[in-house]
Amino acid sequence: MANLLSVKDLRTHFFTQDGVVKAVDGVSFDVQEGETLGLVGESGSGKSVTALTILRLIPQPPGKIVGGEVNFQGVDLLKVDEETIRKIRGAKIAMIFQEPMTSLNPVLTIGRQVTEALELHMKMNKSESRKRAAELLQMVGIPDPLRRLDDYPHQFSGGMRQRVMIAMGLSCNPKLLLADEPTTALDVTIQAQVLELVKKLSDELGTSVILITHNLGVVARYADRVNVMYAGKLIETASAKDLYADPRHPYTLGLLASVPRLDEPRKVKLVPIEGSPPDLTHLPKGCPFRPRCRFAVDRCAEEHPPLMPMGERHFAACWVDVRSRKPLPA
């Protein structure tokens, strides 16, 4: 399959009074047509900033995209003018934001917020856009959609607001959907419904998805490939099947060990990752995960490991073979 999106050496920094926060620091990855790519890691690892950088939604100041390329259908989105990127946002690349209550405008009806993109990008008139908006709400499982178009966000439950966000994201049939932790504020039952809905619609429309989450259970079910981020960098990338069967980075091992498993006895304790994520304004020399890593060797304190091949399309940034617990040859 052809690459729909190609991100190369992406760097987004925030210039604060306390120093420069390297939120995204040299990230490279591809998204193929029709693929669902999982982007996982702890809070502060750079997942959301990566998505916002793709759409050039970084607040400036304090943020600044300091380097890299974001090639979408042969066009570098970081080099096009503001008018061009506005035509792409919502039309060809859409985003579902983390918290629908703060993402939806509380003083505008749901109908107005859904129809806005249809009128702007699809050139529909008011009656056409309203009809299409009702179809979208019905598509995402909101009952009595025509009546609900005239309601306001506070009249919807959290799950229904999230469904509205999905309807808005898919309204213009985008080629790429950025789903930034779309189920964070929802209970488990609604989470499953929303994720199944995203998967179903992406399959029907052929939309590629970047699914940003810290929930590895979600990734196992819905992602084709997985990128693991830590301290603004990619530290492992593989197919979902390979990542779960044969994780090759200590951080990935730690994430998997901290998730409950149905095939383990009930009394088996979860193993947390000790310590806290690093301060991005004062990153340690060498591997940023070293202070929390049980496999660390002397080389980890001196050199930052690059992504190295560990198998077919499987790469990990580690100086140690976690299977043998022996350092890789220099």
For 247-266, what is each residue's pLDDT tens digit?
999 999 888 887 776 666 77
The pLDDT confidence band at residue 297, using thresholds 50, 70 and 90, is confident
Exposure on the CB side of residue 221, measured as CA atoms within 13 A: 12
- Distance between CA atoms of 110 and 114, rounded to whole angstroms? 6
Break the chain down into helix, strand, coil percent, rounded to 5. 35, 25, 40
What does residue 238 show for φ and ψ, rounded to 5 degrees? Answer: -165, 170
CATH number belonging to domain 3-81+176-190+211-262+271-327: 3.40.50.300
Question: Roughly how many angstroms between the first and final C-alpha of the chain, as a whole number?
Answer: 35
CA torsion through residues 4, 165, 13, 283, sign: negative
- Other Cβ atoms less than 10 A from the Cβ of 199: the count is 15
Q: How far is CA 275 from the centre of its chain?
A: 24
DSSP 3-state of 190: helix
C-alpha of 77 from chain center: 18
Of the candidates 276, 251, 272, the residue with the CA atom closest to the CA atom of residue 41: 251
pLDDT category of residue 330 using cuts at 50, 70 and 90: low
The whole-number pLDDT of residue 263 equals 66
Q: How far apart are CA 248 and CA 241, in angstroms?
A: 13
Q: What is the pLDDT of residues 144-173, one digit of tens each?
A: 999 999 999 999 887 788 888 888 888 888
Q: Is it the case that residue 39 has pLDDT exceeding 90?
A: yes
Helix (H) or strand (E) holding 164: helix 158-170
- Among residues of the chain, what percentage have pLDDT more than 90? 37
* pLDDT higher than threshold 80 for residue 101: no
At 186 the pLDDT is 67
- How far apart are the C-alpha atoms of 314 and 48, rounded to whole Å? 23
pLDDT band at residue 79 using 50, 70 and 90 as cut-offs:
very high
